[in-house]
Amino acid sequence: MDRPGRGNRTSDGNHDYYGKTHHPYFSRDVMLYTIRSAKKPRWYIRYRLAGNQKKKTYYQKSLRTIDLDEAINRALKLWREIGTKEEQGIPIDMPSFRQVSEEMLSGWTLSNERKKYVRLTLDRYIHEYTDKCGVNEIGYRELENYVSWRLCYWERMVRKGIEKPPQAKLKPARNTIQKELSIIVQVLYFALRRGYIQSVPKVSPTRLTKSVEGKKTNANNMSKVYARNLRDRLKIHSQKKGRRIDITWARKMMHFYFRIAGRACLRAGSESQNIKIKHLQKLKHPNLNAYYYRINVTSGKVGQRVAILPIEYSEQMEALLKLHHDTYKRSGRRQKEQWCQLEDRHLWGYRDGSYKKIDLMQQNLRLWLTKWNMRHDPKFGRVTMYTFRSAQINNLLYNKKKTPAVVADIAGTSIMQIVNAYMSGDESDPSWALTASADYYDRMFGDNSR
């Protein structure tokens, strides 16, 4: 950029558009000019770009002054900024929020699941809110206004005659808005690293959404009739072939998840999605001619723990493992090289055995339940994958007549949590509830299951 200029040279423009023109000393590619037809003779800068800016040969901008000396000083500062941006490949004009978010996604290095969620959220909500705003225009006030704008989004769309997708909520939950605010802040931090903005507003999504009502009211149980209907629906659905082989696989995984994970009281999160085939142990019952499965949970809300799949559901586990084995065995040599080894396959992962977020399975379940008109249990409310575990806890308490101490041990939680969340305080007398449950596995399955 430090090319010799031709010195200061001011003249009256001969062109009908220009008034006065001036060629400053610092660059021969810069020209200052006034507009002949303007009421005030403000100075403008016209700079010939180096050629790496798409669809634009010249950069022009008002210097917002009628004083030539001040215009030269401002033009010099701007010329240096432009030169730095040209060298770094940064757009000269302040990019919009949409442009910055697109740039961030193009260089994304995280998981495809996260990228897909961010892409959908940006296209559906955030880009519409920011519209053509420059990334430097997004401050605390705009983030604060986003909360109220988002809360009424689908109400406005419905009034306009736009149909709401079945998976979208008329009133989003507080957690949903917090996730969307986090995406906006993430884009702003990317803009900060790229040099587009000088700072990011200090904002807490939790604090911004403190007054938001919209707490999720998921069911913590399922009625027998609903559970039976859901089981049959998922079984039939798992036997149907989808448009693609991965869709068929996803249907089968959901069916097995319903039959196995809930009965083992696994949490629908990091506990379930991190379980691999090598974390399973098939053990013989000491008193019965039957086998059961011990599941070594490696991570989750309470860290490592042991979950037990009851004997009557061992057949479902055998069927799931056979599906994994046959799928891996039928794969070609190249697939075997790319796929996870049999022991390292995630129990509810993708067809190649790789890790899959339970959130994606939850999205599928929500779509299917909506299609089947089974989104809500008439007795207990909205059903999610978290309901499977809760329903089994209720089953153990009220149908199997297990004590809260035993159920807490099976579910990997505290006795007080069981009493407060599932018993409404009716059995809060600790004289019977605090029976030691450390020998539960010994009494039921023998020492091998410890």
- The closest of 166, 106, 188, 184 to 376, measured between CA atoms, is 166
Backbone angles phi, psi at 24, to 5 degrees: -70, 170
Query: For residues 138 and 129, what is the distance between their CA atoms, to the nearest angstrom?
Result: 11
Tens of pLDDT, residue by residue over 283-299, are 988 888 888 899 999 88
Q: State the amino acid at position 175 in one-letter form.
A: N
Query: For residues 313 and 398, what is the distance between their CA atoms, to the nearest angstrom?
Result: 20
Cβ(389)–Cβ(303) under 8 Å? no
What pLDDT, on a 0 to 100 scale, did the predictor assign at position 233?
Answer: 93
What pLDDT, on a 0 to 100 scale, did the predictor assign at position 419?
Answer: 81
Backbone angles phi, psi at 331, to 5 degrees: -70, 150
Query: For residues 97 and 137, what is the distance between their CA atoms, to the nearest angstrom?
Result: 9
- 251 — pLDDT class (breaks 50, 70, 90): very high
- 449 — pLDDT class (breaks 50, 70, 90): very low
Please report, rounded to a whole number, the percentage of residues in the chain having pLDDT higher than 70.
84
β-pair partners for 59: 47
Cβ(270)–Cβ(299) under 8 Å? yes
Q: Identify which has the larger pLDDT, 403 or 423.
A: 403
What pLDDT, on a 0 to 100 scale, did the predictor assign at position 90?
Answer: 62
Helix 174-194 to helix 140-151 angle (10° resolution) is 150
Query: For residues 63 and 73, what is the distance between their CA atoms, to the nearest angstrom?
Result: 10
Tens of pLDDT, residue by residue over 55-95, are 557 778 888 899 999 999 998 988 887 787 777 666 667 78
Q: Is the pLDDT of residue 182 over 60?
A: yes
What pLDDT, on a 0 to 100 scale, did the predictor assign at position 237?
Answer: 92
Q: Is the pLDDT of residue 327 over 60?
A: yes
Q: Calculate the average pLDDT of the chain.
A: 81
Cβ(383)–Cβ(368) under 8 Å? no
Torsion of CA 61, 66, 72, 73, to 10 degrees: -90
pTM of structure: 0.56
Helix (H) or strand (E) segment spanning residue 74 = helix 68-88
Cβ(79)–Cβ(47) under 8 Å? yes
Strands (E), 359-438: 376-377, 381-382
Q: Is 15 exposed, middle or buried (0-12, 13-18, 19+ CB in 10 A)?
A: exposed
Query: For residues 217 and 194, what is the distance between their CA atoms, to the nearest angstrom?
Result: 41
Q: Which residue has the tokens 């949409």?
A: 98
Q: Identify which has the larger pLDDT, 19 or 308.
A: 308
Contact partners, residue 184, CB within 8 Å, separation at least 6: 126, 138, 143, 146
Tens of pLDDT, residue by residue over 20-67, are 888 887 887 888 989 888 888 899 988 877 654 455 577 788 888 999
Q: State the amino acid at position 238 in one-letter form.
A: S
Tens of pLDDT, residue by residue over 120-155, are 899 999 999 988 788 888 888 889 889 889 988 988
What pLDDT, on a 0 to 100 scale, did the predictor assign at position 321?
Answer: 93
